[in-house]
A and B are shown apart, each in its own frame.
Chain A
Amino acid sequence: MGSSDYCLNINNAHQKYDEKTILNGINAKIKQGEFVTVVGPTGCGKSTTLRLILGSELPSKGKVLYNDIMITKPDRNRGVVFQKYSLFPHKTVRENIMFGPELETFNLFEPIIQPFRYKRRRKEFKVIADQYLKRVRLLEHADKYPNMLSGGQRQRAAIAQAMIMKPDVILMDEPFGALDEGTREEMQIFTLEQWKDSKQTVLFITHSLEEAIFMGTRLIVISQYYQHDAGEEGSKIVKDIDIPWDHPRSTKIKNTTQFKDLMESIRYEGLDPDHLQNIGDFDLSHIDSVRNLM
Chain B
Amino acid sequence: MFFDINAKPGKSISIFLGILLFGLAVMLYGSASHSRHADNPQDKLVPTPTQMWKSFSNAIFRPVIEQEFNDDGELIPNDEPKNLREAFKVGKHWEMLRNGEWQLLEDTLASGYRVLIAMLFIFAGVLLGLYMGMFPYLDKLLYRFILFFDKIPALAVLPILFIVFGLDETAKISLIVIGVAPTIILDTYLRVKDVPKENITKGMTLKASTQEIIYKIVFPQVFPKVLDTLRLNFKAVILFLIAGEALAAEAGLGYRIFVVRRYMDMATIIPYVIWISVLAFSIDFFLRRWIKKKFIWIKK
Give the B-binding residues of A (Cβ under 8 A). Answer: 54, 56, 73-76, 78-80, 82, 84-86, 88-91, 99-100, 103-104, 106, 145-147, 161-162, 165, 167
Contact = CB atoms under 8 A, between A and B. Distances in A.
Interface range on chain B (Cβ under 8 Å from partner): 20 to 34
Interface in B199-231: 199, 201-209, 212, 216-217, 220-221
Given A100-B207, A103-B212, A86 B297 contact: no
A85 B196 contact: yes
Contact of B201 (A80, A89, A90, A104): A80
18 contacts: A56-B201, A56-B204, A73-B204, A76-B206, A80-B202, A80-B205, A85-B196, A89-B221, A90-B295, A99-B206, A100-B207, A103-B203, A103-B206, A103-B212, A145-B296, A146-B297, A147-B299, A161-B206
Nearest to B217: A88
Given A78-B205, A165-B206, 9 more contacts: A73-B204, A80-B201, A82-B198, A88-B221, A89-B299, A103-B208, A145-B297, A161-B202, A161-B206
A97 B212 CA distance: 16
B259 to A, nearest CB: 47
A203 B297 CA distance: 31
Main secondary structure on B side of the interface with A: helix
Interface string B257-300: 00000000000000000000000000000000000000111110
B211 to A, nearest CB: 9
Contact of A79 (B205, B296, B298): B205
Main secondary structure on A side of the interface with B: loop
Nearest to A147: B299
- Listed residue (A74, A100, A165, A167) with the most chain B CB atoms within 10 angstroms of its CB: A74
A100 B196 contact: no
Given A74-B201, A80-B201, A103 B297 contact: no
Contacts of A85: 196, 198-199, 202
A71 to B, nearest CB: 12
B212 A106 contact: yes
Contacts of A73: 204
A90 B297 contact: yes
Nearest to B195: A85
Contacts of A145: 296-297
Given A75-B207, A145-B297, A84 B198 contact: yes
A93 B221 CA distance: 15
Nearest to B208: A103
B30 to A, nearest CB: 49
A54 B221 CA distance: 24
A192 to B, nearest CB: 22
Nearest to A104: B207
B219 to A, nearest CB: 10
